[in-house]
Chain A
Amino acid sequence: MLLDGLARLGRSGLGTLERLGRAHLLLAGMVLGVGEVLRRPGLLVAQLFNIGVLSMLIIGVSGLFVGMVLGLQGYYVLAQFGAAESLGVMVASSLVRELGPVVTALLVAGRAGSALTAEIGLMKATEQLSGLEMMAVDPVRRILTPRFFGGVLAMPLLAAMFSAVGVLGGYFVGVGLLGVDSGSFWSQMQSKVDFQEDIVNGVIKSVVFGVVVTWIALFQGHDSVPTSEGVSRATTRSVVHAALAVLGLDFVLTALMFGE
């Protein structure tokens, strides 16, 4: 009885380690497949379209509204201390450092990551991946690698769009509606937001999130049980795991970058 419980614990531990190992082998295979992407840039362009271009609308709209809410809420708090001129600093640094990379990663995980998982899972369920292997084409190089690099490249660009649109949204609300002085909005922002410290670190963050989100999505698809139920579970797991990984990693990265 006791041994049964122990055996089950051991089995689940071994299973987790095995999955972790398969995930890292997949990552290594995709990173080593960079030559394939350089040889066939058309494959990468198609994935940049799927992941990047098609996510632009949701990124732009969310960025605008997040920036506008930040402007509105920040104004009410800052006005109490007579520091409404610092609104630009608050909006820009919270967007560039945290909200831009994190919210973009969450949106991409929901919008593009789930689609990637479902696509790869269905390819596996309908034995297209096995078919490619029969034709001596490596499905990891041909199918997964372009998607991986598409996600890694698209994420920082999408995060930059999110932050830029968000700053403009904060400007419209702060300067347009609430009457903060336009000059001090920009000049305070420029004097307090540092290029190295804030912008570059934000871009590094979003590249890391791009790797993590696409890696999780592709692995979940590649590792799914090839049935309709298996694919649907893999899609759910992809979004949940990606969101948890992004939020956890964000804390670690923030502590490393801004913690001194």
Chain B
Amino acid sequence: MAKQRGIEILVGLFMAVGFVAMFFLAMQVSNLSAAVNGEGYRLTARFSNVGSLKARSPVSMAGVRVGRVEDVSFDKDTYEAVVTMRIDTATDTIPDDTFANIFTAGLLGEQYIALEPGGSMDYLRDGDEIAHTQSALILEQMIGQFLFSKAGGD
């Protein structure tokens, strides 16, 4: 009887450790903890080209992450990309003349949205749209323009 109980305790321990390991993988190793964090408010911005920006790309201000891209969709009437961002609730003082740029982390790294605050005293609220945007720099386009201006200069 005592032996059976010892086995049951050890099996219980085994299953508990297994579930703790799965929980550790889910929360600490994967992005589940970031995805669950659904707090914050939404802003949208329109870009003529978003490059390789994807859902869950970071949104940063002064280099600090203040939110994430929630969705990238295409507006078939204006032929623009509509980016929905979720900004952390703590960052609730983004001026309404803020400039949204799409930058690349490093030369070939992933793309992110950098917000440059303007000087306005009115702040953006949930559902507002950022009016001033600058699209992603496409490397091929830049090289093409560079070659074109070189050829034109001669």
Main secondary structure of the interface of B (DSSP, over half): helix
Picked from B7, B20, B28, the residue with its CB within 8 Å of the CB of A190 is: B28
Contact A167 B11 (CB under 8 A): no
A158 within 8 A of B: yes
Picked from B14, B26, B28, B33, the residue with its CB within 8 Å of the CB of A56 is: B14
Interface residue ranges, A against B (CB under 8 Å): 42, 45-46, 48-49, 52-53, 56, 92, 96, 154, 156-158, 160-161, 163-165, 167, 186, 189-195, 198-199, 203
With A193-B30, A195-B30 in contact, is A49–B11 under 8 Å at CB?
yes
B18 neighbours in A (Cβ, 8 Å): 52, 156-158, 160-161
Interface size class of B (residues with CB under 8 A): 20 to 34
B 4-31 contacts with A by CB, 8 A: 4, 7-8, 10-11, 13-15, 17-22, 24-26, 28-31
5 contacts between A and B (CB under 8 A): A48-B15, A49-B10, A53-B10, A191-B56, A193-B31
With A160-B22, A164-B21 in contact, is A198–B30 under 8 Å at CB?
yes
Main secondary structure of the interface of A (DSSP, over half): helix
Contact B25 A96 (CB under 8 A): yes
B32 within 8 A of A: yes
- A195 and B122 alpha carbons, distance in the complex (Å): 39
B139 within 8 A of A: no
B147 within 8 A of A: no
B21 neighbours in A (Cβ, 8 Å): 157, 160-161, 163-165
Nearest 5 interchain pairs by C-beta:
A157-B18, A164-B21, A160-B21, A195-B32, A195-B30
Picked from A48, A52, A199, the residue with its CB within 8 Å of the CB of B25 is: A199
Contact A157 B14 (CB under 8 A): yes
Contact B15 A199 (CB under 8 A): no
**Nearest Cβ distance between residue B27 and chain A, in whole angstroms?**
9
A189 neighbours in B (Cβ, 8 Å): 29
Instruction: Known pairs A45-B11, A53-B10, A161-B18; list 20 more (Cβ under 8 Å).
Output: A45-B7, A45-B8, A46-B7, A48-B11, A48-B14, A48-B15, A52-B14, A52-B15, A52-B18, A96-B29, A96-B30, A157-B17, A157-B18, A158-B18, A164-B20, A186-B28, A190-B29, A190-B33, A198-B30, A199-B30
B62 within 8 A of A: no
A203 neighbours in B (Cβ, 8 Å): 22
Picked from B7, B11, B35, the residue with its CB within 8 Å of the CB of A195 is: B35
Contact A195 B31 (CB under 8 A): yes
B 133-148 contacts with A by CB, 8 A: none
With A190-B30, A193-B30, A195-B30 in contact, is A160–B15 under 8 Å at CB?
no
Contact A194 B30 (CB under 8 A): yes
